[in-house]
């Protein structure tokens, strides 16, 4: 294994993350080395060659920390250790070293809005009682009503519709309430308490010392709550993106201005660590020292850009492509707004089509453009058009990979993996499903373990055939080893695309992004990318001398030339001209 030094700045003078392709590994579902049916860190390490061959720059690991797994690891009980179900700290060190040896960086998740109720500090807070410094680490309040029997405010959340849960005090009597914006087992930290901020500085330094290349910040728009935790008439919203532009209706638990103090502080921690590491580095050390902070923040572009100011975070997940219908006008409007709002603060946008919270895009796009799919898909729902989803999914992927900025891929999308929409209720484990009593389908369908080998137990996910969520029989046709042999497979499309993206500098600035006759057209001096969002073939003129170099269907011959520099782009297909 050779050591491949990475440079903080690429040939065009851009930091590596400006146009990086970062692959999300959801450790439970990626690969299981020990055969217990649960993915683990050794499984990730064993598949690093797949990721290196794919051509990504980095991986982002969803949480692998000690956790009761009420929210699949987004409920952390110990921020400084690996859960035994995923392995050990030594496994993590090995993974980081082996990834770096292949030129891949490693970004880890950090979950600072809430911990698990099993965290020792939450348990200490329960024991210590009202008014104690232990309670002050979390958001405990007395209830309203004569005997404190009503929650402190009407904030929504939890399984009974309230973001508050009442605890029993040491004497067994009902006592205070604690805040949990997410599940009942996920109590929110009190970030007005300086001890919380100090503790998280140490968490960051612990992982930086172990050599990780950055952090994806879970719920980066949470943490700070409005002073006094007021009730407020909030305009209800549909879907994932939270409307926070108008301060009069901004939800008091989201996107508060005080959250930026936390992000500035974290930026200083990371920059100081990087500077110290640079000072120590010898000339032949690989330069894995340019760490990044990435916000997960479901916000509108006007608010999201604030997280990207020069002294805050390097990147923010951009929810636009997750929520924009497959229609050229909508796509171009969303893309343009993202480019402009990011440029206003000197940042580059990121693009993502799938992740562990959202219906996979190969399925989402198999529905009519306007169907809302936020809550997941179950067997009782209308089922997608699989073929259309595959076709449009590949077209959308090629469009995303041709946009200026960074790209986030979700494990399995390079196989064109669809959502599993027919999981039986008894197999579902997502707390969203369980706490809503099944009213919401939840996110298990995009978390079903990856098929690596068509004819192996659990399709190669685990050596024993065990799998924490059942894999459907049809996963066989999507297995990586089947696709390896098929030059027109989605796997080969992604590999080619990621190589060409570099060659054509498709992560770099574009001269224009326009909508024309149902087409999205992204033009640069030496390339032109055309995504046809209609179901029909559409003719387009491209700059002189360019010809198709990559087609989402897999066959460049399928794009007829219909005149001097005019080409007919088939429906629901993206073509890269170079």
User: Which residues belong to the active site?
Assistant: 218, 272
CA–CA separation, 215 and 16 (whole Å): 15
Q: How far is the CB of 185 from ligand NOJ (least distance, A)?
A: 11
Structure tokens at 574: 């993206």
Q: How far is the CB of 342 from ligand NOJ (least distance, A)?
A: 21
Residue nearest ligand NOJ (C-beta atom): 74
Q: Residue 472: which residues within 8 A CB-CB, separation 6 or more?
A: 420, 422, 448
57 or 296, CB closer to ligand NOJ?
Answer: 296
CA distances to 28, 117, 152, 166, 285 from 188, in Å? 24, 9, 15, 14, 40
> Residue from 74, 79, 122, 367 that binds ligand NOJ (CB under 6 A)?
74
Site string for ligand NOJ, 290-319 (x = CB under 6 A): ------x-----------------------
Structure tokens at 353: 């089509």
Beta strands at 105-110 and 65-66: parallel, antiparallel or unpaired: unpaired
Give the three-state DSSP class for 156.
strand
Give the position of tokens 């904030």: 155
What is the number of alpha carbons within 13 Å of residue 218 lying toward its C-beta?
23
71 or 190, CB closer to ligand NOJ?
Answer: 71
Q: How far is the CB of 546 from ligand NOJ (least distance, A)?
A: 39
CA–CA separation, 459 and 474 (whole Å): 11
183 or 393, CB closer to ligand NOJ?
Answer: 183
Q: How far is the CB of 218 from ligand NOJ (least distance, A)?
A: 5
CA angle, corner 159, sides to 158 and 165, nearest 5?
55
Residues in 1-20 that interact with ligand NOJ by CB under 6 A: none
The alpha carbon of residue 483 and the mean position of all alpha carbons in its chain are separated, in whole angstroms, by 25
CA distances to 401, 500, 534 from 11, in Å? 19, 16, 37
Contact between 513 and ligand NOJ per CB under 6 A: no
Provide the phi-psi class of 67: left if phi over 0, else alpha when psi is between -120 and 50, else beta: beta
219 or 359, CB closer to ligand NOJ?
Answer: 219
410 or 576, CB closer to ligand NOJ?
Answer: 410
Site string for ligand NOJ, 44-63 (x = CB under 6 A): --------------------
Site string for ligand NOJ, 216-235 (x = CB under 6 A): --xx----------------
Torsion sign (Cα): 322, 104, 83, 215 = negative
Beta carbons of 489 and 481 less than 8 angstroms apart: no
The residues with which 55 forms a beta bridge, in sequence order, are: none
295 or 569, CB closer to ligand NOJ?
Answer: 295
Beta carbons of 181 and 258 less than 8 angstroms apart: no
CA–CA separation, 89 and 197 (whole Å): 24
The residues with which 57 forms a beta bridge, in sequence order, are: none
Contact between 357 and ligand NOJ per CB under 6 A: yes
Q: How far is the CB of 492 from ligand NOJ (least distance, A)?
A: 30
Contact between 111 and ligand NOJ per CB under 6 A: yes
- State the CB neighbour count (10 A cutoff) for residue 445: 22
- State the CB neighbour count (10 A cutoff) for residue 438: 12
Element (H, E) at 342: helix 328-344
Return phi, psi of residue 424, to 5°: -70, 150
CA–CA separation, 578 and 569 (whole Å): 15
6 or 244, CB closer to ligand NOJ?
Answer: 244
Q: How far is the CB of 162 from ligand NOJ (least distance, A)?
A: 17
Q: How far is the CB of 188 from ligand NOJ (least distance, A)?
A: 11
190 or 218, CB closer to ligand NOJ?
Answer: 218
CA–CA separation, 65 and 73 (whole Å): 7
Residues in 405-464 that interact with ligand NOJ by CB under 6 A: none
Site size for ligand NOJ (CB under 6 A): 9
21 or 72, CB closer to ligand NOJ?
Answer: 72
> Residue from 19, 32, 71, 414 that binds ligand NOJ (CB under 6 A)?
71
Residue 258 DSSP one-character state: T
Q: How far is the CB of 560 from ligand NOJ (least distance, A)?
A: 43
Residues in 132-191 that interact with ligand NOJ by CB under 6 A: 182
Q: How far is the CB of 299 from ligand NOJ (least distance, A)?
A: 13
263 or 356, CB closer to ligand NOJ?
Answer: 356
Return phi, psi of residue 366, to 5°: -90, 15
Q: How far is the CB of 216 from ligand NOJ (least distance, A)?
A: 9
Residues in contact with ligand NOJ by the rule CB under 6 A: 71, 74, 111, 182, 218-219, 296, 356-357
């Amino acid at each position: 294994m050779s050591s491949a030094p990475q440079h903080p700045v690429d040939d065009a003078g851009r930091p590596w993350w400006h146009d990086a392709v970062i692959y999300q590994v959801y450790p439970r579902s990626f690969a299981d080395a020990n055969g217990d049916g649960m993915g683990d860190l050794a499984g990730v390490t064993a598949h690093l060659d797949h990721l290196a061959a794919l051509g990504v720059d980095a991986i982002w690991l969803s949480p692998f920390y000690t956790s009761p797994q009420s929210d699949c690891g987004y409920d952390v009980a110990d921020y400084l250790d690996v859960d035994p179900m995923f392995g050990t700290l030594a496994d993590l060190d090995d993974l980081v070293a082996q990834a770096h040896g292949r030129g891949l960086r490693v970004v880890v998740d950090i979950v600072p809005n809430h911990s698990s109720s099993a965290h020792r500090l939450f348990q200490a807070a329960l024991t210590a009682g009202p008014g104690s410094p232990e309670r002050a680490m979390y958001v405990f309040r007395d209830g309203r009503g004569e005997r404190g029997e009503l929650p402190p405010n009407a904030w929504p959340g939890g399984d009974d519709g309230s973001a508050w849960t009442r605890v029993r005090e040491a004497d067994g009597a009902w006592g205070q309430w604690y805040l949990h914006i997410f599940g009942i087992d996920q109590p929110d930290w009190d970030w007005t308490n300086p001890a919380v901020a100090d503790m998280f500085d140490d968490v960051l330094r612990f992982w930086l010392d172990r050599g990780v290349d950055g952090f994806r910040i879970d719920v980066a728009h949470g943490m700070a709550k409005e002073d006094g935790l007021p009730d407020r008439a909030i305009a209800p919203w549909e879907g994932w993106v939270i409307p926070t532009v108008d301060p009069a209706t901004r939800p008091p638990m989201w996107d508060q201005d005080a959250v930026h103090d936390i992000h500035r502080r974290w930026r200083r921690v990371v920059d100081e660590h990087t500077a110290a590491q640079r000072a120590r580095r010898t000339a032949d050390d690989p330069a894995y020292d340019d760490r990044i902070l990435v916000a997960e923040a479901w916000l509108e572009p006007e608010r999201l850009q604030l997280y990207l100011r020069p002294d805050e975070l390097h990147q923010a997940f951009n929810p636009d492509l997750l929520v924009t219908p497959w229609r050229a006008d909508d796509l171009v409007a969303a893309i343009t707004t993202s480019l402009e709002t990011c440029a206003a603060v000197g940042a580059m946008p990121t693009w993502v089509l799938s992740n562990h919270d959202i219906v996979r895009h190969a399925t989402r796009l198999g529905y009519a453009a306007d169907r809302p799919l936020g809550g997941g898909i179950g067997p009782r729902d209308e089922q997608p058009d699989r073929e259309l989803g595959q076709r449009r999914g590949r077209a959308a992927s090629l469009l995303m990979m041709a946009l200026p900025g960074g790209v986030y891929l979700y494990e399995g999308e390079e196989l064109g993996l669809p959502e599993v929409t027919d999981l039986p209720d008894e197999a579902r484990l997502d707390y969203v499903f369980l706490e809503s009593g099944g009213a919401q389908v939840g996110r298990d369908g995009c978390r079903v373990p990856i098929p690596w080998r068509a004819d192996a137990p659990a399709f190669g996910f685990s050596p024993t055939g065990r799998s924490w969520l059942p894999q459907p029989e049809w996963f066989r046709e999507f297995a990586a080893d089947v696709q390896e042999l098929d030059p027109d497979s989605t796997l080969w499309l992604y590999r080619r695309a990621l190589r060409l993206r570099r060659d054509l500098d498709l992560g770099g600035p574009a001269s224009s992004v326009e909508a024309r006759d149902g087409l999205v057209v992204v033009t640069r001096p030496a390339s032109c990318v055309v995504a046809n969002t209609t179901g029909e073939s559409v003719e387009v003129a491209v700059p002189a001398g360019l010809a198709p170099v990559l087609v989402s269907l897999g066959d460049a011959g399928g794009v007829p030339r219909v005149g001097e520099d005019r080409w007919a782009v088939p429906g629901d297909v993206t073509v890269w001209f170079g």
